[in-house]
């Protein structure tokens, strides 16, 4: 513990950025946990309800269900209902745009975690190399002092350990949140496929009617 405190005092110029990265990691993690928790919805239960409304061609009822669902999935479904009512032919492309905008919100701040996971080990390594250089410089001036060398190297390695520790935590959070975003994207695709099934069915009905008219 004493060695850690001494290293933080002597090498504050390199320890400080690593500590800032650790605070950023904690802040982003808390922010994303709260955001994803607020927006989590059970799409499996929601899909059959909105499917019934679409089967009845009750778009107002589908819109109301989307509002009641809330969260980012509710927002995407509201947009899907609007697109479905206004431009069925271009539904797929328009929905993909809405889903991409929602995904941007979900991925907000995650690049910070990815950057910290990549940079922190190098910050720690840089601090270690510089501290070892100072240690050998002192050794050259003061002569052979094995205890001082061992203490200097041990102090130097603390920066690497801290950098690796913060990076590992940041990467764990980054990968976890990326998997969470992927689950939201899967939900968006389920909603898209649901609406497309009704777009295709209406196209089939229109084609059948045109065929009947032509034959008649």
Q: Which residue has the higher pLDDT, 206 or 162?
A: 162
Average pLDDT over residues 162-187: 95
Only one residue has tokens 């052979």, namely: 144
Q: Which residue has the higher pLDDT, 166 or 151?
A: 166
Residue (of 2, 10, 29) closest to 159 by Cα position: 10
Residue (of 40, 36, 50) closest to 193 by Cα position: 50
Residue (of 9, 17, 2, 6) closest to 126 by Cα position: 17
Phi-psi region of 57 (alpha: psi -120 to 50; beta: other; left: phi over 0): left
Going from N- to C-terminal start, the domains of the chain cover 2-129+159-215
What is d(CA 201, CA 158) in angstroms, rounded to the nearest whole number?
65
pLDDT at 213 over 90: no
Q: Which residue has the higher pLDDT, 63 or 155?
A: 63
Q: What is the pLDDT of residue 181?
A: 96
CB 54 within 8 A of CB 81: no
CB 54 within 8 A of CB 198: yes
Only one residue has tokens 């939900």, namely: 187
Tally: H helices and E strands in the chain: 8, 0
Instruction: Give the distance, in angstroms, between the CA of residue 62 and the centroid of all CA atoms in the same chain.
Output: 29
- List pLDDT tens digits, range 51-82: 999 889 899 999 999 999 999 999 999 999 99
Write the DSSP assignment of 177-190 as a string of letters. Answer: HHHHHHHHHHHHHH
The encoded tokens of residue 209 equal 């009617």
Alpha helix (H) residue ranges in the chain: 2-10, 12-39, 43-55, 59-69, 71-86, 91-106, 110-142, 146-215
> Whole-prediction pTM value?
0.80
- List pLDDT tens digits, range 122-137: 998 888 888 777 777 7
């Amino acid at each position: 513990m004493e060695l850690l405190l001494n290293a933080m005092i002597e090498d504050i110029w390199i320890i400080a950025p690593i500590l800032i990265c650790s605070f950023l990691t904690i802040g982003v993690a808390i922010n994303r946990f709260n955001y994803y928790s607020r927006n989590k919805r059970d799409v499996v239960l929601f899909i059959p309800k909105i499917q019934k409304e679409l089967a009845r061609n009750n778009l107002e009822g589908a819109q109301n269900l989307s509002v009641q669902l809330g969260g980012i999935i509710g927002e995407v479904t509201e947009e899907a209902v609007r697109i479905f009512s206004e431009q069925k032919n271009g539904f797929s492309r328009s929905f993909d745009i809405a889903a991409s905008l929602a995904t941007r919100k979900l991925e907000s701040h995650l690049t910070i975690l990815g950057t910290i996971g990549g940079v922190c080990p190098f910050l720690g390594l840089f601090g270690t190399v510089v501290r070892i250089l100072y240690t050998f410089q002192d050794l050259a001036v003061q002569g052979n002092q094995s205890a001082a060398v061992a203490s200097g190297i041990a102090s130097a390695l603390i920066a690497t350990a801290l950098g690796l520790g913060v990076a590992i935590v940041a990467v764990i959070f980054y990968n976890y949140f990326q998997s969470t975003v992927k689950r939201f994207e899967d939900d968006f695709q389920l909603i898209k496929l649901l609406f497309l099934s009704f777009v295709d069915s209406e196209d089939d009905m229109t084609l059948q009617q045109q065929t009947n008219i032509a034959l008649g």
